[in-house]
């Protein structure tokens, strides 16, 4: 008995949720009676799931700072190849092996290793810096005048024993800090300022994909991040300082953070 004549078209409709609910039972019966159509449906179902899975990860990626900036009304510089040829672009980011695990601090003068897998963390840190370092009155949630509370609060929230590094020797004073989302967890952001009003920030999470270190800049003339990822934590120092100065600040911040984590 066939109350309704189904066709291949209905396979697509069923797959895409467009088949009326009251036809579903008859459709299933039709599939059972037509092994060839049933096999086709099974393949399409698998392909649909594979398509979905292939791109699902994109939703979990942090939004690049340059895209956020547009919505905030800024027009960031384009990537080098210009606006009109994105469809021909075939950029393949170079994957370079990350050096040994030890000696991060010793090796920091030789940064320059890049690993696209860590871009996401660096981009989150840069995005946070771009948004909050530009704020005059609302840059931080807890000011430096309340430093003890700031450290305790962020430590509890992030799940790491955090000490706000003393960067006075580098010319930077703590402004304060805030709590931010990062990936599936939380991040602490510590903001510093020098006497000329130049700001840098530290971005720290308890989540880490692996062990790595590197530098990352999402665009020309934009802020740059120097980051370390290790088991159980990740830290980025972000600012628009000359590379040598940022490296020196990062080195000092990193060794103090590490000492704090251990203590």
Partner 1 sequence: MDEKKAAILGEIPRLRRYARSLLRDRDSADDLVQDCLERALVRLDNWQTGESPRRWLFTIMHHLFIDQMRKVSRRGEAAMLPLEASEAQAAPAEQVAGIASREIIDALQAISPDRRAALVIVAIEGFSYAEAANILGVPAGTLMSRIARGREELRGLLEDTARRRSIRIVEK
- Which of 70, 101, 134, 168 binds partner 1 (CB under 8 A)? It is 70
- Should residue 97 be labelled a site residue for partner 1 when binding is judged by CB under 8 A? no
Size of site (CB under 8 A) for partner 1:
48
- Should residue 166 be labelled a site residue for partner 1 when binding is judged by CB under 8 A? no
- Should residue 94 be labelled a site residue for partner 1 when binding is judged by CB under 8 A? yes
Distance, CA of 230 to CA of 100 (rounded, Å): 12
- Should residue 169 be labelled a site residue for partner 1 when binding is judged by CB under 8 A? no
- Should residue 73 be labelled a site residue for partner 1 when binding is judged by CB under 8 A? yes
141 secondary structure, DSSP code: S
- Should residue 47 be labelled a site residue for partner 1 when binding is judged by CB under 8 A? yes
Specify the 3-state DSSP secondary structure of 90: coil
Region of 17 (left: φ > 0; alpha: ψ -120 to 50; beta: rest) is: left
Show Cβ contacts of residue 37 under 8 Å, excluding neighbours closer than 6 positions: 8, 11, 30, 31
In angstroms, how far is CA 113 from the centroid of its own chain? 18
Supply the angle between the helices 24-33 and 8-15 in degrees, to the nearest 10.
130
Q: How many residues does the chain have?
A: 263
Stretch that binds partner 1, among 61-69, 150-158, 159-167, 170-178 (CB under 8 A): 61-69
Q: Is 212 exposed, middle or buried (0-12, 13-18, 19+ CB in 10 A)?
A: buried
- Should residue 37 be labelled a site residue for partner 1 when binding is judged by CB under 8 A? no
Stretch that binds partner 1, among 87-95, 167-175, 193-201, 234-242 (CB under 8 A): 87-95
Cβ atoms 105, 226 nearer than 8 A: no
Stretch that binds partner 1, among 84-92, 135-143, 146-154, 176-184 (CB under 8 A): 84-92
- Should residue 39 be labelled a site residue for partner 1 when binding is judged by CB under 8 A? no
For residues 50 and 244, which CB has a smaller minimum distance to partner 1 in the complex? 50
Cβ atoms 226, 250 nearer than 8 A: yes
227 secondary structure, DSSP code: E
- Interface map 174-203 toward partner 1 (x if CB under 8 A): ------------------------------
In angstroms, how far is CA 252 from the centroid of its own chain? 24
- Which of 3, 21, 35, 50 binds partner 1 (CB under 8 A)? It is 50
- Should residue 262 be labelled a site residue for partner 1 when binding is judged by CB under 8 A? no
* Contacts with partner 1, residue ranges (CB under 8 A): 8-9, 12-13, 15-18, 43-44, 47-48, 50-55, 57-59, 61, 63-64, 66-68, 70-73, 75, 78-79, 83-84, 86-95, 116-117
């Amino acid at each position: 008995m066939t109350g309704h004549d189904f066709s291949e078209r209905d396979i697509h409709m069923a797959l895409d949720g467009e088949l009326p609910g009251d036809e579903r039972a008859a459709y299933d019966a039709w599939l059972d009676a037509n092994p060839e159509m049933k096999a086709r449906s099974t393949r399409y179902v698998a392909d649909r799931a594979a398509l979905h899975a292939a791109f699902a990860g994109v939703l979990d990626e942090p939004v690049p700072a340059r895209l956020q900036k547009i919505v905030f009304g800024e027009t960031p510089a384009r990537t080098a190849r210009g606006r009109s040829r994105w469809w021909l672009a075939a950029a393949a980011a170079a994957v370079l092996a990350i050096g040994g695990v030890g000696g991060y601090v010793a090796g920091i003068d030789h940064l320059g290793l890049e690993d696209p897998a860590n871009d996401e963390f660096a981009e989150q840190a840069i995005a946070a810096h771009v948004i909050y370092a530009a704020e005059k009155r609302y840059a931080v949630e807890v000011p430096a005048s309340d430093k003890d509370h700031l450290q305790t609060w962020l430590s509890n929230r992030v799940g790491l024993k955090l000490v706000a590094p003393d960067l006075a020797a580098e010319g930077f004073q703590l402004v304060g800090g805030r709590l931010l989302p990062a990936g599936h967890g939380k991040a602490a952001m510590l903001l510093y300022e020098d006497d000329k009003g130049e700001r840098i920030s530290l971005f720290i999470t308890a989540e880490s994909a692996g062990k790595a270190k590197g530098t990352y800049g999402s665009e020309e003339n934009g802020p740059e991040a120097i980051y370390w990822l290790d088991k159980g934590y990740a830290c980025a120092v972000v600012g628009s300082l000359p590379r040598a100065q940022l490296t020196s600040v990062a080195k000092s911040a990193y060794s103090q953070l590490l000492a704090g984590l251990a203590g």
